[in-house]
Structure 1
Amino acid sequence: MRYPTRFPSRRGGDTTEFTLRIQQILSILLRHQDFLHEQQIADELAISKRTVQRELDYITTIIAPYQLTLKRKKGAGLLLTGTPQARQRLADDLNASDRSDWSDKKERRRYLLFELLRDRTPKKLYHYSRLLGVSESTAASDLEALGPWLRKNNLSILKKPGFGVILNGTEQNYREAMRRFISETAPVDKLKEITDPHAALAKAVMNVTDNGIYRLLNSRTIQRIDALLGEMNEPKLRQFTDSAYIGLIIHIAISVERMQQGNVPSDEQFLPLEEDGEDLRLARRILQAIEEEFHLHMPELELSYLLLHIKGANIHYTNVPDETVPTDLNGKKLINLIDAMIDAFDSRQAYMLRCDEEFIRGLFVHLQPAIVRLTNHLNIINPLLDDIKEEYADTFQKSIRAARVLEKGIGAAVSEEEIGYLTIHFGAALERMKGKTAFTRKVSVGIVCASGFGVARLMMTRLRNKLSAAVSLKTYGKGDLTPEVIKATDFFVSSLPLNRPDIDAVRISPLITQSDMSRIQCKIEEYAHIRKQVHREEGEKQPDEFVQELAETHKSAEEIAHILKGYAMYTADASLPFDQAVAWLCGQVAESESQSRQLYEDIMKRERLSSQIFPDQGFALLHCRTCAVSHAAFYTCMPSESSFSDPYFQGVGMILLMAMPAAGPTRLYTDLLGFISSSLVIDDSFNEAVLSRSEGLIRSELQRILKLYFNTLLIKLT
């Protein structure tokens, strides 16, 4: 027999799925016209009464479209009730299933794994042979073939004469195998469509996944847990990505049902409980709520399981504060690991990647839970993996090299799913690098994303590069679409359904296929030839767009003049340690002692986030945003010898200092100083001038590249 078997639903269009065991139980109920005890069904099928009871809730759901009900009477048992016609329709569908076979070896073994995970009581080989409709030797061969999959979760199949066949391993390994099995069998294309995990999530999970597989868990249990977490209204849970939130519900459902079945975990150590941190307090609140909802006593180890899942959950990067900067020892170790990963990814692009604060911060935040997952063998769903491998094949291969560095650093294997997420972060940074010199025009496009800072930036930077001067791009969360934003935007592109009749939106894939690009370009062409409607509130005056562009260009000219006028070359004692050299240089360029201290603190804060020493380029690039300056600034400082002697400098012979004001037009400052930074790599003449240690030559080349930058601004006005 084949599993699962699908039949047209009586509601029309949908399908109902029957496992072999469901078919067997329903066939018995159809044969009897009177009440039947659960134990009688169990005896006939040679299974436990508890296994029968686990199927009953699902049976109640799937017979409803047939206008049949399952009546339960205390002391009497079960009775299938409905018209003779309804009973016959169900019987016909069950008979149709009997004509199926298990010719698909992969599907047969998948079902066998399903049975091993759902029922851990010992079973004779004959039981599985009869269940699959194959010989005992074929069943034995199938069990052997499952070995490699099980070994990834430190499980094995134990066979003992007179005892039977059973899974062997710890409770932790068993639960993680269940999570992995559910993740692997969820249809990826359907998981991509889940956009709101906090609205009827349990229903969404049951609709978008293989119902037969998800019956490892009771659907009613999933629904109750989903409702319970929603009522708790925890801010941290709202930060979870879609797959992380779904995974949390599945994790709790597994724990609840294992406890209800009497499978209390042993005293094995899973994750040491930390001091009373916020994650631990959240885990305690959830566990207490679960105990009250299901009338269970959960052992301390369950708290450890739950804490591990919370720590390993991916979060929405848009909810992470910008000031998140690692300051502890673990943070420093992680930053060093990221540095090594960048070198392994592509040494030629390492400089530009290290200059991308957005990339460094995003990767740092992503790796914290990722390392928890990897070191504890937790699985993660990456519904975009196939698309990433196809659309970003070269970046994916480079990310594999970075993943090998990560593996060595943490002593754990990195799965393809995790490498896919690394590819998103590296890919977004590369797209930003490509788009440094892109121009914009008057068509305004808003990018709306469901979750994930890396994915959002990947969409924006790829569009910016592809569309060049065609558009002005801004990213928004679904809740950011205020009337003001809608008025200022021509149309939106989104990876999720917006269902907003008041806006013009184009639905696209997060990875933006060629077909998506064609639709977007057509829409841009449409709006490029339509006069933009100007929305004015009563009494509100809108500035003329050309006048505004002139003002911005004038401000850029002022900042360029300040940079050129303020530029100077300094010579520092080559023996100074790094921090003292920075403090000395800040004292030279700042106008007061208080400004010098502030500039030093901001530079060192940035240095803690990611090293600004680039020995392969021959210089250290110190840059920060600070209230110690009122205009953009650029300075150089060389050592009194050929290079600084402090090992922290790694032998570099030049310090470059760039600072932008903390207040004011941030995008203008970023574009201007970013152009200087990019020129250090892509403009050989400027790079050679900086390394020549000649103040006159550096000043001359700095003037040349800033004139080039200003010319690009003038072109935008024409």
Structure 2
Amino acid sequence: MNARVFSILRELLAFDHAITSEYLAQTLDVTSRTIRDDIKILDHTLQNHGAKIKSIRGIGFQLTISDDKKFRHFLNQILTNKSSEQALPNSPDERITYLIKRFLLAEDHLKLDHLCDEMHISKSTIQNDLRSVKDLLSKYDLSLQQKPNYGLKLSGNEVKMRYAMSEHIFDRSEPVSKAVWKKQLSQITNIDMQSLEDVWSVIIKEIKDNQISLSDIAINNLFIHIIIAYQRIKDGHYVSIINQDLKEIKKQKEHQVALRIIASTEKILAINFPPEEVAYISIHLLGTKMVKQTNLTETDLENILEKQTQILTTKILDLIEARMKLNIRNDQELLIGLGLHLKPAINRYRYGMNVRNPMLKDIKLNYPLAFEAAVIAGMVLENEINVLIDENEIGYIALHIGAAIERNKLKTEPKRCYIVCASGLGSAHLIKYKLQSVFGSRIHVAGTTEYYKLAQIPFEDIDFIVSSVPISESLKIPVIVVNTILSSQDIAKIETHLKKRSTRLVDFIKKEFVFLNKAFTTKEATLNFLVEQIQTKMDLPDHYLDLIYEREEVAPTAYGNLIAIPHPITAQAKETFLSICTLQKPIDWAGKRAQFICLLNVEKDGHQDLEIMYKGLIRIVEDPNIVQQLIQTKNYRDFVKILLALEA
């Protein structure tokens, strides 16, 4: 069975009713004819395994299962074939995933002893893993029922069982079904599924025909906006979002595309959309292109967004800048992109549409700083409009912020240096012009001075000093001693400094705050201990622990691979450092297992080192072998040696 046919089976499993070939074609980015050919192949295969695909004229295709035991055996075979070359699960996360698949596909009861032998683990280990398995399955209203002498078997509604299969048995890197939120939209608006599919098809067709480049999130947001706008218009609520005539936008091809989308949608849904909706959809289609390819001023850009959304977006960016100093407050692409995302996202929540984010784990791993900024955005949304945002939505917001952080890196200013020379300004200028010719825009020479005027240098505005005379004074910034006539060795010395990482992960670790091989059995006991230890040596706010739990409520800080990185929701410490605790046995941390706990203490108003720290921690998260080495370490010296080797 090829990957596309495998994906079709997953989509059919996710629905408890028929779906069209057009929907499948759009999801898998192939033609409807290809889908129909693949369904013939899939149907032929399934008929020998207790299932078939029913074709309903004018409605679509539906999976029907006549022999549940035979069908599960078939899925089990597929799973076994796909994973036959993979090693047995080692980490807790891998074991939990493995067990969920085993229970979903089991034709009968499973004995713990047999599972222990199968996975080469102890009974106590599997009993710990089962707690997490039960928590995950409960989200689908599924439970594990025990029968004496027989073992455990999964129990629950068959439709929910199949949906759980579609989520956990198939590779999540494959195209993700839009079934959940389309079904929710249908319930909210009473629009039949076929009409929803037709509107979706119109959007996709116009975008493809006109070669408009939009992300999946942007397309989803546009679709959700149109459908919810239909419901609000029906209820007598009309939008009033445009504060100007937007001549520049009307010149763009996207405006004509918006007109066609609305015209087709009006026929499908039998309703008239007001002219403001055409402008709003034009803005969605333009997205951040408006920043680069139109002549709109900053005021114009802000006026494009509905006033409430504009104010909300500005408040979010202001608070992120105040708390984290990321230098992205004035990024126009972020202002527009985040504003366009927020309107439909808020509507989703107001209508009870919680959408899973399949990229969440990757976003938390690859953009941890952006994710923390998005947590702040979630706080603003909760305070301003009383909408509680979960970590799936926080992940989507983090994508916009992460892109702005990366854009800001491209505009990184050159390193600023001062030249100190003992033999007069003439030789200082000689060094200056040589530096400019060799390093170009990478170095900005802020000034030159004699040695005796050293105290007059504005050290707070300078990254380093280049001096032709040794400086014995202890300065706050590095000093690179060179010859008056710069040699190749001098140039190499400065080059090394420019490339050098100013700080490393170990620079944030203090010996007095590293606690190894502790016997704590709960998250609460571990956090209480770590905070108490810090308070014995430095001042912390009385509510520091409360702030840590407040952050956990927004989105748990367990990253998988036995690591949790808790921290207060706002920076409160006098300096930035890590408090680390390794445990003798893993503990439960919001459904995940944690044995390496790293409490992140951030200096109030000082976030400049956060990205370096996060990058170091994520390197640990991504390497199970390093985690195991650190957990098994019994002394501080060996612990640091492992971290230094990681950064070498």
- Greater radius of gyration (CA): 1
Structure of higher RCO (CA pairs closer than 8 Å, 6+ residues apart): 2
- TM band (smaller chain): 0.3 to 0.5
Q: TM-score, normalised by structure 2?
A: 0.35
